Structure 1
């Protein structure tokens, strides 16, 4: 049996009855081809099993057509929404995403994430980090690899894109204090989490601005789960002074509400509860939880655009994506006592 010959661009041109230049333009995603001609060439490519030579295209165009993405954790509503925003932006720009999750057996640092990306055929790297790595303040990107970090804090050497976590926490706390509550209790997520730290800071700052007492943050298991919120809610149900709770995410808030109701507390008549991220909207039927809504899709899109245009911006900068409060049925006026 003879050796199978790969299909060439000239083969496609002959099959479609067009010039090799037209085939080249279609293969490279050029807009200078009429839609009907593009479809004609694409049908010939599919019929012959033609696959463009990625290495040759890279040499000709000076880029790979792929953006690298390192996620320290893929699971989680916010991370998945960010990934969807990145994916849609890549599709619109005719780019591919090269995704890798940070291996648990590797050094959990920005430097290691950048090293992984530097060995892959990508034009730029996006690093999505949810907690402060040991080298967050000192990390410098590889000189030949454009790098953008998705994180809610500024980094001295890289452009960062993130949600304004402190402002979000301040808005929730202001909302609850404005309803007449003497103070607001905070249910904390993992203490190593950058978003959790910033939410906690925004909560504390707002209480201080209003001269309100600042209770110690309440923790369940120290994670983001509803079970952890339930444990924290059980603790707060025993505190007669607790009339308002701000939870670091919606799962914690829902867990706390279940614990309060199990203890005979009414929400919001006895205790108001607000969450963070509005991740249960469209997931829980008749969602009543007051929460701060994050546009993680937009965060992903902006991060992609920053990576794509990193050459045109010399100085690292911080892009802050705003959040907004969605008031529903779990917050109300402070009870009369």
Structure 2
């Protein structure tokens, strides 16, 4: 509501009058200054809510040199991981008093990434966050010399570039170790695209855990994150089982591919986990409702967003922060179980 009789737009002095403080105090609260007493900050924030006041961001930018906006550039937002990374960053940015401006690229090319960052700089954002999971995009980020802080999320691998991500290698090791602990002699793997650093990190973790256990490392099958590629991999594995190969456990690089693989196994008369145990990665909201409910590795995207924004704000303040990777967690459901004994006795295929 507006002050009685007013027909003009609300200004900061209206908030000051309602809260019984100075114009400068209102300005400090809005701009996130720390030297404001908690009870005073609460009065000002209450006055803002009561009046429905919205700060003039353009005017504030002229005074402070800050738009309190972070640019975010991503690709493949239709995939669960990138979409949830965006949600986590937006929530963390909002909590910190920033808004998020988003650009979704059609392709993860160096040229597209450079153009997106240039547009954000032209909009006077305070910093840019980029989803750097694909090689072209990651290489473009390293080649850019942006006039604002530029950080990456989910870039994977080891790099001197300011970045934060989930520990993909450790997550893949958790999945593989779980299957080995159930008695499986080895674990087959369906990976993501070749140009995805996340996919390569999950291969690294899978292979490292097999080698650490003294297990054989079978050739992996290539997928592209989609259920259809998981379905194709499931058909291939079922044919190999039918030909007499011992395949009792499969780790897939994401849950969507696991969904396709489970469908293929069902079509081929194979049952999970009776015949073959299956583990995914991501923990889709639908994963507990797969048939059977899917054992998977959960990525904490809310924590990823919090650490990503923490890194951004630190870079804005001139701090050289290097956040630890976000840990992954194994969620055990009904798609995994002990190795069949004797192997092949109950596979249900001719």
Common fold by TM > 0.5? yes
Q: CA deviation at 1:25?
A: 5.4
> Are 1:109 and 1:133, in contact at CA under 8 Å, matched by a contact in 2?
no
On the 8 A contact 2:109/2:137 being kept in 1, the answer is: no
Unmatched 5+ residue regions in structure 2? 1-6, 343-350
Contact 2:70 2:126 in 1 (8 A): yes
Counterpart contact for 1:106–1:112, Cα < 8 Å: no
Match of 1:173 among 172, 176, 181: 176
C-alpha contact (below 8 Å) 1:23/1:41 kept by paired residues: no
> What number of residue pairs does the alignment pair up?
326
6-15 or 302-311, which deviates more: 6-15
Tell me if 1:229 matches 2:230: yes
Which segment drifts farther, 317-326 or 168-177? 317-326
Unaligned runs of 5+ in 1: none
Change over 3 Å in CA distance of 1:76–1:208 after alignment to 2 = same
State the Cα distance separating 1:115 from its structure 2 match: 2.4
Q: Of 153, 157, 176, which residue of structure 1 is paired with 2:157?
A: 153
Per-residue Cα deviation, 1:42-88 (whole angstroms, up to 9, x for no partner): 544x4xxx764323312322321111111123222122221221111
Pairing of 1:190-229 with structure 2 (within 5 A): 190-219=193-222, 222-229=223-230
Separation in 2, partners of 1:256, 1:10: 59
The alignment partner of 1:70 has SS state of strand
Asked whether the 8 Å contact 1:111–1:135 carries over to 2, the reply is no
Cα pair distance change 1:99/1:237, threshold 3 Å: same
In the aligned structure 2, how far is the partner of 1:285 from the partner of 1:211? 32
> After the TM superposition, which of the residue ranges 256-265 and 102-111 deviates more from structure 2?
102-111
User: How far apart in 2 are the matches of 1:210 and 1:41?
Assistant: 60
What do residues 254-297 of structure 1 show as CA deviations (whole Å, max 9, x unaligned)? 22122112212221121111111111457637862111111112
RMSD between aligned residues? 3.1
CA distance in structure 2 between the partners assigned to 1:17 and 1:87 by the alignment: 30
SS of residue matched to 1:125: strand
* Equivalent pair of 1:274/1:331 in contact (CA under 8 Å): yes
SS at match of 1:67: strand
Partner of 2:4: none
Worse-superposed segment, 239-248 or 5-14: 5-14
Residue in structure 2 matched with residue 324 of structure 1 by the alignment: 329
Superposed displacement of residue 199, structure 1: 0.9
In structure 2, do the counterparts of structure 1 residues 11 and 295 end up closer, same or farther at CA, with 3 Å as the change threshold? Answer: closer
Give the corresponding residue for 1:246.
251
Match of 1:71, SS state, is: strand
TM-score, normalised to structure 2's length? 0.81
1:61/1:247 CA distance change after superposition, 3 Å: same
User: 1:224, CA displacement in angstroms?
Assistant: 1.4
Aligned match for 1:142, one of 116, 125, 145: 145
